[in-house]
Structure 1
Amino acid sequence: MTVEAVQRWGSVLDSVVVYEQGAVCRRLARGVVPPGGRVRVTGLPRSLDPGSLRARVQGAGGARVSEARVEVEAEPLGTPVSDGLRGSVDRLREEYTAAQGRRDHQLSLIEEVGALCPVPPARRREDGHRRTPVDAWLELAGFVDERLTGLHARLVELEEALRQAGHELGIAVDRLARASTDAPSAHVDTTVSAVLLVDVSGADDPGAEVELELEYGVPGAVWAPAYRLTYRQGGRSGRLVLRASVAQRTGEDWTGVSVGLATADLRRGTDLPRLRSIRIGRSQPASAPSGWREPPAGLNDLFAGYDAALPHPASSAPPVAVPSRPLPPPPAPQGYGGPPPAFSAPSDVGGAATELFAGHVPAPAPPLRARTGGRSSAGGPSAAPAAKAPAAPGGSPPPPPPAAGPPRPSGAELDYAALVLYGPDAQEGRRGKLFPENPFDPVAAEYRRRAESVAALPLPGHAVRPRESAGSFDHRFDTAARADIPSDGSWHTVTVGEIAVGMHTEYLCVPSVEQTVYATLVLSNASDQALLAGPVEVTVDDDFLLTAALPTLAPGGVRRVGLGPAEGIQVTRRTNLHESTSGLRNSTTVLDHRVHVELANRLPGPVTLEVRERVPVTSEPDVRIEERADWTTPQEGPGPDRHAPGTRVWRVELPAGGTAVLDGGYEIRMPAGKALVGGNRRS
């Protein structure tokens, strides 16, 4: 079936799911299936992974997609497409080159004028001394000075023009680099489409309009979570909005699409592991793999008539240019025998030596792609009858014969959806057989390389890769509204939705280290989704406060977020140490430590303040520590909430304008012959 007989359908990008690296796009196409059922859906990006294409018919009705493959069409444009940014870069580059040429010409003029100097004529031996014409010398010096002054003034103007042209060129190049890659080339029109075979034989109404859904994966998309927190001073709840920083360079602009954000690894394999059995007994030959068939007998005789009908080259053909050394034959695919036989040219081709053509194999014609599904016959040189290979040029030994026993095809040779049926113009060992298609496409590889460059983008401040913060679980977040994300490789902020969280403000102080009170926001995740680590913009009473780092918060978890010093709460700490002895014959040294803390709340509302102190711990059996205070031992938490040994906590409720006094202490009792390292007197 020709290309003209295939009906073209336009498609619309409907939704995108962005993973840790890469994305899965979903396109919709609608139309009436033509006779034959072959449809070409256009609009696919150049960087898509051909092996990830999936197609299905939306809704019930008996229609189904029985075949799907990706095809790329490229044709030169008669009239070049105008590209604003690229044309601007070319124009500014020409202006910069012209300005540089004028500057260089001016420098050459300055060098030429600066080299002017008086040269006296040659004096003969019999001539006497001449008088120097000082006026002429001074006149020449004045001319040179005047000329250089004008030239240098012009040089300053030219250098400023060159600097300005370079600045404008740099801006244009940067804009071109940041511009969207969803733009056609200026000389070649490349169309990536999916050719589908839609079967409507089982449909209720074969002539009705059907809707097709295409799903494919693309590289070049990354994301990182971000948040915006708004609450009122002294309130018990707030508003936490989940946002995402998304960057993509997939080659197509995402306009008006539903965006999903997932933490899973898109490249992770999902194939089930295969456990081989272990048998004890007699050795048995390996069974042929399921789905493998030997090529039919007499396959080479099928092309005898085709070879006989080929025109033979005339003896008067013009000379053919040959390389200075033979070209290497194309490599054989894995799992098959040695390279195909060397192509020997007729002896009457331009009088060239036959050995110059050894190893030069003509490029095969485009193969016919096999249909997916069902058992097919696949084979190669290893499955064909063994034939005596001709000796390679230079006296090298022929390739070894194929191994005896049943064929052992690789996984790529059993993937019938990726095999192609080679036609009569293919190499001798490939005609009429199924082989894996060479997946290397230099143009597509360049598109994918440019798309994957977004993985090296520097993250925004306090941002964390979603795969790192998700831990052992995978999460997905869907945006509440459709969004626009251009393919320019820059970060774009997308609002996902509001998350229900509980929050209240507490204040923390460690006066033994620093007599400053710090405000902390206690967040509790009341939703069924985890909050991934990322930056959070905190707004208090409609005033932006700061941007902090939000830790990963599991469903039902509680974590603290630091908000910085609270200047409205004052704290003062004083200590007192009294050293004495006790016991029989004063055998015990008693170190009595007293701690006095004064608190004052200057904020307009009540606050909850947590004051932390530290009591020494010991592993010596003859050293005792006795506490004399109303503080409590904090509960141990995971990770950052883990407290140091000996930590004690006071929790105080301070009203607006209120004060409080905290007194505590501890005694250290140890043998009189011992002392603390660094001295007994401690703060």
Structure 2
Amino acid sequence: MNDQHSSDQHRPHDDGTGRSTVPAVPSVLDSVVVHAAGAVCRRRARTALPPGGRLRLTGLPEGLDERSLRARVLTGPAGTAVTEARTEALAELREASELPELQRRLAAAEEHADALRERRRLVHAAVVETRALRAVPPPRRRDEPLRRTPADAWLELAEFVDERLTALHERAERLTRELELADHETQVLADRVARASSAGRREAVGTARTALLTLTAPERSADDSPAVEIELEYTVRAARWVPSYRLSYRQGADTGRLLLRASVAQQTGEDWTGVRLALSTADLDRRTELPKLRSLRIGRSQPAPPPSGWREPPAGLADLFTGYDAAGPRPVPSGPRRMHAGSARPVGAAAEPRLSAPVSPAVAAPLPPPAAAPAPQPPGGPAPRARARTGGLRSADEAGGAGQSVAFAGYGGPPPAPGAPFPAEEALARFDAPAPFTPPPGPPVPDELLLDYPALELSGPDAAARRGTLHHPDDRRAAGRPAPGLPHLPLPHHAVPPRVSAGSFDHRFDAAAPADLPSDATWHTVTIDEIPVQVSPEYVTVPAVEERVYATLVITNGTAQAVLAGPVEVTVDDQFLLTAALPTLAPGGVRRLGIGVAESVEVTRRTELRESTAGMLNSSTVLDHRVRVELANRLGRPVTVEVRERVPVSSDADIRIEERPGWHAPDEPSTECPPSTRLRRVELPPGGRAELDAGYQIRIPAGKAIVGGNRRN
């Protein structure tokens, strides 16, 4: 960032009309905090304080949220402050030389392909004309005798046509090959442009977003121009991140290196170059207003409902679009439209005519007026639920009692059609009984989104039933736009969104070095920090399911920083092993990470069932299940193997289950280890073997059998 600015460069100047223009000051992106969906950007600019106190900061992206714009003075004279900050869009006309080189190459390739296509068309037209050449004899008079056909002329004409067609076909074939190569080059360049950063200027005519600031400063002399440093803060939506890791472990060590990396994607319209990057799991936008607790009153007298903010649509709303409807629909372009550098009209497109078509009744018909509120019902009349089905309006009292407001199409828009399902029917189901008294209906209650007045937008003439009415941009039903935050971008393998893995807590991770992230909506990996963890190798086997031993790494997070779930690249002794899914590790948490089958550790399981009788008069049947597990270590180092077995569980008091000693239940049952799991840990020396005895006895009343057979394995 440039800290040196002359006072004359940013001083207001006359534009030739006698009016003083606001000086433009470039700003530099300094830091970015990427949230789960969206980011907070901070820009800085250093300039001399203008005499009028107004200046314009340039370099802002198109995708910023205007409501989030904040400005403050970091350094400057005492008493200097920002009193007003707002965004302005300025039109820009760019020359062809100002466009990116890749865009210019694409435009040149498209023009070359169009020229080849036109030349081939002319050659094909010449082929058709040449092929149509025929010898036509002159008309013979009545008294004229028959003439001999000049064979030499016919042969010369045929030879001329053949030579001409041969040359034209060769030329057409050559142009076809050149056109195929030109189309291929155009497709390659178009793909590169589509995958390139969106921060480059791609259009000859566009808009630039700027911030217009008004500053207050103490009085000073005319020659005194102190320097001030201003910071701008704003939010953008098209940015997201997911965590990823790299785990390095050496055999025999009890610690490992867990490198925290992040996959970040953004399409905000500006490249993040050399910015201080931070990652956060918190929500970028969160409603902060307090809930309102309505009072409950018993009796016939009810307080007047509070103002709802609803008003009737203005008279003659449909007449505003009469001329637009009379012009008819816009013509649909037949193919893709390309914009060349320095041209404001697509290639091959003429001025779009306005079609004169009859007005469609579905478009030109006036909007229906809001339905009238239902009249009070006498005792024994229909319940409020039945009245709610006849329209889309409710009184303010009914809306407050149900705990849910009525959703409308927009301010000034029509209510829902009669017979449409009511959004709070389930909440009103408890009022199905006839009420002896019905309070007078109150004014309609709009949706909560429609009460956010600064964010409301006016629907255009193409919005059919919603045109001329206000709607909220976050209402997907009204706006019809996809949710922000690059929702179409697929996540990397094993990646988990940070809001899912963070749970109820929010975490922030600051990058150790500046980062560069282009605005191309593609995942880019950024190294954040290194987290020391304790790693111990263990082996797990479940021989009742599969006679294999699986190698695992028990990871302990002894730091105060959380480790979120995500993909991890496991490296053992500087050799890449695999990419696995790392679970969430809270501070002080311990989790197990599987790294595959250990072929050098063998396991064998044998079972035996002995059935006998016991008790007085042989009143019980004893089912003795014996399990023998054999382990063998073929590695050159000692290993710890955890063997998992299972025992049956019964809720019948007549059935008793006796287990063999030496096994214990899991400390914290989970989906992997239910309460019926029994564990045993065995230390195997290099080349060692071990045999484990397990099993259980089931005692059931004589004459009965277990459903599915007495043999449990």
What corresponds to 1:19 in structure 2? 35
Q: Percent identity?
A: 55
**Secondary structure of the equivalent of 1:468?**
helix
Does the CA-based 8 Å contact 1:18-1:222 persist in structure 2? Answer: yes
What corresponds to 2:335 in structure 1? none
User: Which deviations, in whole Å up to 9, do the C-alpha atoms of 1:233-274 show, x marking residues without a partner?
Assistant: 232110111111111110110000011111222232233445
User: Which deviations, in whole Å up to 9, do the C-alpha atoms of 1:487-518 show, x marking residues without a partner?
Assistant: 11111111111123222111100011111101
Distance 2:451 2:675 in 1: 62
**Alignment partner of 2:45 out of 23, 29, 44:** 29
What corresponds to 2:542 in structure 1? 510
What corresponds to 2:592 in structure 1? 560
Indicate yes or no: 2:546 matched with 1:524.
no
Structure 1 residues 618 and 115, CA gap change in structure 2 (3 angstroms): farther
- Output aligned runs, 1:225-624, within 5 Å: 225-273=243-291, 338=314, 452=484, 454-624=486-656
Distance 2:35 2:199 in 1: 21
User: Which deviations, in whole Å up to 9, do the C-alpha atoms of 1:293-343 show, x marking residues without a partner?
Assistant: xxxxxxxxxxxxxxxxxxxxxxxxxxxxxxxxxxxxxxxx98698369999
Does the CA-based 8 Å contact 1:629-1:663 persist in structure 2? Answer: no
Distance 2:72 2:500 in 1: 34
Indicate yes or no: 2:686 matched with 1:656.
yes
Indicate yes or no: 2:213 matched with 1:196.
yes
Query: Following TM superposition, by how much is the alpha carbon of 1:185 offset from its aligned partner in structure 2, in angstroms?
Result: 4.2
Structure 1 residues 271 and 55, CA gap change in structure 2 (3 angstroms): farther
Query: Following TM superposition, by how much is the alpha carbon of 1:568 offset from its aligned partner in structure 2, in angstroms?
Result: 1.5
What corresponds to 2:15 in structure 1? none
One-letter amino acid of the structure 2 residue matched with residue 168 of structure 1: E
Does the CA-based 8 Å contact 1:80-1:187 persist in structure 2? Answer: no
Structure 1 residues 238 and 412, CA gap change in structure 2 (3 angstroms): closer
Unaligned runs of 5+ in 1: 118-142, 290-332, 344-354, 360-393, 400-407, 420-437, 442-447
User: Which deviations, in whole Å up to 9, do the C-alpha atoms of 1:624-657 show, x marking residues without a partner?
Assistant: 221224111111245x55x224211110111222
Structure 1 residues 356 and 647, CA gap change in structure 2 (3 angstroms): closer
Structure 1 residues 276 and 7, CA gap change in structure 2 (3 angstroms): farther
**Secondary structure of the equivalent of 1:577?**
strand
Does the CA-based 8 Å contact 2:665-2:677 persist in structure 1? Answer: yes
**Alignment partner of 1:177 out of 194, 199, 218:** 194
Does the CA-based 8 Å contact 2:96-2:104 persist in structure 1? Answer: no
What corresponds to 1:210 in structure 2? 228
Distance 1:200 1:502 in 2: 57
Distance 1:29 1:439 in 2: 36
User: Bigger CA drift: 560-569 or 261-270?
Assistant: 261-270
Distance 1:491 1:395 in 2: 49
Q: TM-score, normalised by structure 2?
A: 0.65
Query: Following TM superposition, by how much is the alpha carbon of 1:594 offset from its aligned partner in structure 2, in angstroms?
Result: 1.6
**Secondary structure of the equivalent of 2:559?**
coil
Unaligned runs of 5+ in 2: 1-11, 13-17, 135-159, 327-364, 371-444, 457-469, 474-479
Structure 1 residues 549 and 79, CA gap change in structure 2 (3 angstroms): closer
One-letter amino acid of the structure 2 residue matched with residue 508 of structure 1: V
Query: Following TM superposition, by how much is the alpha carbon of 1:73 offset from its aligned partner in structure 2, in angstroms?
Result: 1.1
Count of residues in correspondence between the two structures: 543
Structure 1 residues 144 and 609, CA gap change in structure 2 (3 angstroms): farther
User: Which deviations, in whole Å up to 9, do the C-alpha atoms of 1:467-490 show, x marking residues without a partner?
Assistant: 222222222211111100011111
Distance 1:395 1:625 in 2: 79
Distance 2:452 2:701 in 1: 81
What corresponds to 2:423 in structure 1? none
Does the CA-based 8 Å contact 1:80-1:186 persist in structure 2? Answer: no
Does the CA-based 8 Å contact 2:501-2:564 persist in structure 1? Answer: yes
User: Bigger CA drift: 1-10 or 170-179?
Assistant: 1-10
What corresponds to 1:65 in structure 2? 82
Q: What do you get for the CA RMSD once the two structures are aligned?
A: 5.0
Distance 1:79 1:111 in 2: 40
**Secondary structure of the equivalent of 1:454?**
coil
Distance 1:85 1:564 in 2: 46
**Alignment partner of 2:239 out of 202, 206, 221:** 221
What corresponds to 1:350 in structure 2? none
Structure 1 residues 109 and 595, CA gap change in structure 2 (3 angstroms): farther
Indicate yes or no: 2:72 matched with 1:56.
yes
What corresponds to 1:391 in structure 2? none
Does the CA-based 8 Å contact 1:247-1:492 persist in structure 2? Answer: yes
One-letter amino acid of the structure 2 residue matched with residue 529 of structure 1: Q
Distance 2:95 2:165 in 1: 53
Does the CA-based 8 Å contact 1:81-1:186 persist in structure 2? Answer: no
Structure 1 residues 80 and 277, CA gap change in structure 2 (3 angstroms): farther
User: Bigger CA drift: 188-197 or 248-257?
Assistant: 188-197
Structure 1 residues 115 and 457, CA gap change in structure 2 (3 angstroms): farther
Does the CA-based 8 Å contact 1:53-1:69 persist in structure 2? Answer: yes
Distance 2:544 2:131 in 1: 75
Does the CA-based 8 Å contact 2:103-2:202 persist in structure 1? Answer: no
Distance 2:710 2:217 in 1: 93
**Alignment partner of 1:39 out of 55, 61, 66:** 55
**Secondary structure of the equivalent of 1:30?**
strand
Distance 2:657 2:306 in 1: 77
Distance 1:601 1:196 in 2: 74
Does the CA-based 8 Å contact 1:220-1:451 persist in structure 2? Answer: no
One-letter amino acid of the structure 2 residue matched with residue 268 of structure 1: R
Distance 1:680 1:35 in 2: 96
One-letter amino acid of the structure 2 residue matched with residue 338 of structure 1: P
**Secondary structure of the equivalent of 2:642?**
strand
**Alignment partner of 1:668 out of 685, 688, 698:** 698
One-letter amino acid of the structure 2 residue matched with residue 58 of structure 1: L
Does the CA-based 8 Å contact 1:221-1:455 persist in structure 2? Answer: no
User: Which deviations, in whole Å up to 9, do the C-alpha atoms of 1:333-389 show, x marking residues without a partner?
Assistant: 98698369999xxxxxxxxxxx999x9xxxxxxxxxxxxxxxxxxxxxxxxxxxxxx
Does the CA-based 8 Å contact 2:69-2:86 persist in structure 1? Answer: yes
Distance 1:451 1:184 in 2: 25
Distance 1:103 1:86 in 2: 26
**Secondary structure of the equivalent of 2:191?**
helix
User: Which deviations, in whole Å up to 9, do the C-alpha atoms of 1:554-613 show, x marking residues without a partner?
Assistant: 222211111111111111111222222223333322222221111111223221110011
